Amino acid sequence: MLSPTAPAPQAHQEPQEPQAAWLKTYYFARAAFSLAWLLAVQHADAHGAAAAALLVAYPAWDALANLADARRSGGLGVNRTQALNVAASVAVAAAIGAALPDMHRVLAVFGAWAILSGLLQLGTGLRRWKAFGAQWAMILSGAQSALAGAVFILQARAPAEPSAATLAGYAGFGAFYFLVSAVTLSVRDWRRRSA
């Protein structure tokens, strides 16, 4: 039994501080990868081996990133949206590898994945909102990813031959939203420490 003068337990605060620090690191890392991917894909030969490797690497990285985040956030069993995202991203990396070099098929697969992964990211952001706040950018990013996926599917049906660079804008917006999330969490923590 606690004495009347004993401080109240900080059960909810203690685990959230390391988790908030992890999320900042995670968001910064995802922004850096998306930016590096965007720069690399713009300089890769549109139909060369480097472009093909980059197309497979994008969803493969997403799978690894979601797996790492889910493990740091209580495991895949607790984070079902991320568990689904890991499985979908692994399947899409394999599907893109199988679809190459047909860029129309690659773009259609990427578009379907952008819709699914965007909705799952939106779900993860909504789930985390209560505990951490500063998730509006992740929610907006998830919604925009789903919309971009629909555009990619429409583009895949057009006669014009798409290239890996067609997806550069997608990676750019991803980098922006992850960076905004990381900065927003950093500002929130700075304000709390200053208060």
pLDDT tens, position by position, 52-95: 999 999 999 999 999 999 999 999 999 999 999 999 999 999 99
Domain total for the chain?
1
| Cβ count near 125 (within 10 Å) | 23
Residue 63 lies in a domain: yes
Residue 21 lies in a domain: no
Residue 92 lies in a domain: yes
Residue 4 lies in a domain: no
Distance (Å, rounded) from C-alpha 174 to C-alpha 88?
Answer: 18
Predicted confidence (pLDDT) per residue in 175-193, tens digit = 999 999 999 988 888 888 8
Residue range of the domain that includes 180: 28-194
pLDDT at position 16: 67
Predicted confidence (pLDDT) per residue in 27-59, tens digit = 999 999 999 999 999 988 777 899 999 999 999
Predicted confidence (pLDDT) per residue in 125-156, tens digit = 998 887 776 689 999 999 999 999 999 999 99
Torsion, Cα of 30, 35, 36, 42 (10° steps): 140
Residue 55 lies in a domain: yes
pLDDT at position 116: 97
Residue 1 lies in a domain: no
Q: Chain-wide mean pLDDT for the chain? A: 89
pLDDT at position 131: 76
Residue 104 lies in a domain: yes
Distance (Å, rounded) from C-alpha 146 to C-alpha 85?
Answer: 13
Distance (Å, rounded) from C-alpha 182 to C-alpha 24?
Answer: 5
Residue 22 lies in a domain: no
| Amino acid letter, 146 | A
